[in-house]
């Protein structure tokens, strides 16, 4: 990596995990953040380079939430960066600010990803379609399918960053070869992966309407930092429901998708694999 002038902090982040969403980005970020060589700020997903309103806050704001570069490596795990709605802006801004950043990309079967995204929204109370009818929610216009357009999301990054800066990992390999490759890629010593898996919607309880309101107004996030464990446990009993039931397997849901959705996903999947042929990639085969 290029060094900063003496007495000036280097540009941040040192590494970015830009997605794809619901492909293990939170787990990988938290694992890396647990390494003593990594400095963690208050925001795992600052989405700074993607959203215009956050970009307008400036680099000083970003530095205040992302981590201290004098205390270790600084990472950014924002899945919005590979969402086709924002990937062009995110890649352009990051390339201009930190052209030598290290990039780790996680992916999985695009229908599996879309279903996990769907269940996440059901759990949060923002999606009203029954889980058994998940295929009907996976339309061309839906955020679920948009975020599974892997080739479209990746193209601006491939255009702006050198292949050796990027590492592509299938989610199924994250806990073995993927973890070791990610550590090597960002310059951390190898160590066993932590046991905890983060942000797994299948293990999380669903929101009640009251919980959704409290969360969307950032009240829950503030209370969690201050309330004793007993109060948090009581709040969970009152504000959360049992976990959302699982959807049908991805292969079964794929058979129920509209033909135009299947065609688009196949085109994107093939284009994605053509792109990553030129990038360092952990094999999907164990």
Tell me what pLDDT residue 63 has: 93
Contact 20, 107 (CB under 8 A): yes
Phi and psi of 168, rounded to 5°?
-115, 130
User: Which of 12-21, 117-126, 220-229 has maximum average pLDDT?
Assistant: 12-21
Whether residue 7 is contained in a domain is answered as: no
CATH label of the domain that carries residue 110: 3.40.50.300
pLDDT level of residue 122 (50, 70, 90 thresholds): confident
Longest dimension (CA), the chain: 59
Mean pLDDT within 144-171: 98
Residue 3 lies in a domain: no
The domain total for the chain is: 1
Query: Is 281 domain-assigned?
Result: no
Residue 4 in any domain: the answer is: no
Residue 186 has what pLDDT?
98
Q: State residue 247's pLDDT score.
A: 74
| Stated pTM of the model | 0.85
**78 lies in which domain range?**
15-276
246-272 pLDDT, tens digit per residue, is: 778 999 999 999 999 999 999 999 999
Is residue 135 predicted with pLDDT exceeding 60? Answer: yes
Task: Say how far residue 122 (Cα) sits from the centre of its chain.
Answer: 18
């Amino acid at each position: 990596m290029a060094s900063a002038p003496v007495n000036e902090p280097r540009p941040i982040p040192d590494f970015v995990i830009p997605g794809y969403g619901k492909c293990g980005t939170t787990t990988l970020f938290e694992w890396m953040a647990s390494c003593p060589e990594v400095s963690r700020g208050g925001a795992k997903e600052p989405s700074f380079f993607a959203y215009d309103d956050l970009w307008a806050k400036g680099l000083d704001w970003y530095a205040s939430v992302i981590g201290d570069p004098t205390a270790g490596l600084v990472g950014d795990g924002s899945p919005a960066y590979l969402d086709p709605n924002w990937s062009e802006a995110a890649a352009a801004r990051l390339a201009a600010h930190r052209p030598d950043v290290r990039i780790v990309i996680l992916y999985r079967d695009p229908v599996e990803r879309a279903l996990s995204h769907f269940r996440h929204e059901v759990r949060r109370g923002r999606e009203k379609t029954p889980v058994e009818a998940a295929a009907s929610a996976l339309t061309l216009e839906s955020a679920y399918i948009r975020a599974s357009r892997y080739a479209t999301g990746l193209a601006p990054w491939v255009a702006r960053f050198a292949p050796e800066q990027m590492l592509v990992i299938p989610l199924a390999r994250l806990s073995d070869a993927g973890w070791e490759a990610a550590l090597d890629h960002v310059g951390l010593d190898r160590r066993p992966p932590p046991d905890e898996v983060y942000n797994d919607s299948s293990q999380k309880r669903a929101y009640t309407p009251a919980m959704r309101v409290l969360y969307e107004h950032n009240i829950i996030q503030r209370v969690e930092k201050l309330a004793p464990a007993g109060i948090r446990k009581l709040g969970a009993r009152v504000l959360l429901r049992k976990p959302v039931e699982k959807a049908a397997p991805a292969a079964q849901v794929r058979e129920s998708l509209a033909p135009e959705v299947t065609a688009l996903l196949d085109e994107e999947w093939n284009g994605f694999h053509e792109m990553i042929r030129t990038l360092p990639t952990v094999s999907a085969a164990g």
